[in-house]
Amino acid sequence: MAQDHAVVIGSSGLVGWGVVNELLSQDSVAPGNFSRVTALVNRPIKRDDTFWPDEHPSQPELLMVDGVNLMDDGEKITAMLKDRISDAHTITHVFYFGE
């Protein structure tokens, strides 16, 4: 599996949800391209409520990070992300679907 790490900002919205769903899907257009997917959302959400594919050894690891308010100060957001995404230095792709 590849070592790419995708971050999806706004993953609880319609388009962001679809991108995370595709990245986790075994039937993806390009399966195996990512080893990790980080889903950023503002409001807390449980994985069961997302209807994303169930965890499977062949799919990327999923990290869900809530409390990301893009209206906050940039320094506050940066500090929070560094604190909540321990391997942020491995991020290779960012998908932005915030407002």
Give residue-wise pLDDT tens across range 47-99. 999 999 988 888 899 999 999 888 899 999 889 889 999 999 999 999 999 87
Contacts of 50 (CB under 8 A, 6+ apart): 12, 17, 20
Which one-letter amino acid corresponds to residue 55?
Answer: E
Please state the domain extents for the chain. Answer: 4-96
Q: What is the mean pLDDT of residues 25-54?
A: 86
Determine how many CB atoms are found less than 10 A away from the CB of residue 85. 18
Cβ(64)–Cβ(39) under 8 Å? yes
Q: What's residue 1's pLDDT?
A: 56
pTM of the model: 0.88
First-last CA distance in the chain: 32
